[in-house]
C-alpha cells in the first residue's frame, strides 16, 4: 500500500500543470479522493525532500519540479 506522501505525489504527477485541488486530497477514498486530512504536512514533507510543489492559487497545488531525493524515510 502506498503512503499518503506517495499517493499525493502520484496524483500531482498525473495532473501536471492542471494541478490538484485541496478537496481532492481530503475527500475519502470511497468518494474519489485520497483521504488525506493532513495534506499540508505531507506536502511539507515532499518539499523537504526537494519536490517543488507550489500553490498556484488558493486551494490548487502543482508539482513544478521533481525532487532529487528518495521518498524513503
Burial class, 57, CB count within 10 angstroms (exposed 0-12 / middle 13-18 / buried 19+):
exposed
Give domain status of residue 27, yes or no: yes
23, part of any domain: yes
- The answer to the question of residue 71 being in a domain is no
pLDDT at 47: 94
Tell me if 17 is assigned to some domain: yes
pLDDT above 90 (res 72): no
Residue 10 lies in a domain: yes
What total number of domains does the chain contain? 1
Within-domain flag for 73: no
pTM for the model: 0.86
Instruction: Report the pLDDT value the prediction gives residue 68, as an integer from 0 to 100.
Output: 59
Q: State the pLDDT at residue 71.
A: 60
* Residue 38 belongs to domain spanning: 4-65
- 55 found inside a domain: yes
pLDDT of residue 38: 96
pLDDT tens per residue across span 22-59: 999 999 999 999 999 999 999 999 999 999 999 999 99
Amino acid at each position: 500500500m502506498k503512503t499518503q506522501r506517495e499517493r499525493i505525489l502520484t496524483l500531482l504527477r498525473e495532473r501536471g500543470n492542471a494541478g490538484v485541488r485541496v478537496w481532492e486530497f481530503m475527500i475519502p477514498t470511497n468518494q474519489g479522493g485520497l483521504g488525506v486530512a493532513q495534506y499540508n504536512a505531507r506536502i511539507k514533507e515532499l518539499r523537504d525532500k526537494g519536490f517543488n510543489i507550489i500553490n498556484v492559487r488558493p486551494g490548487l497545488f502543482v508539482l513544478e519540479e521533481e525532487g532529487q531525493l528518495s521518498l524513503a524515510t
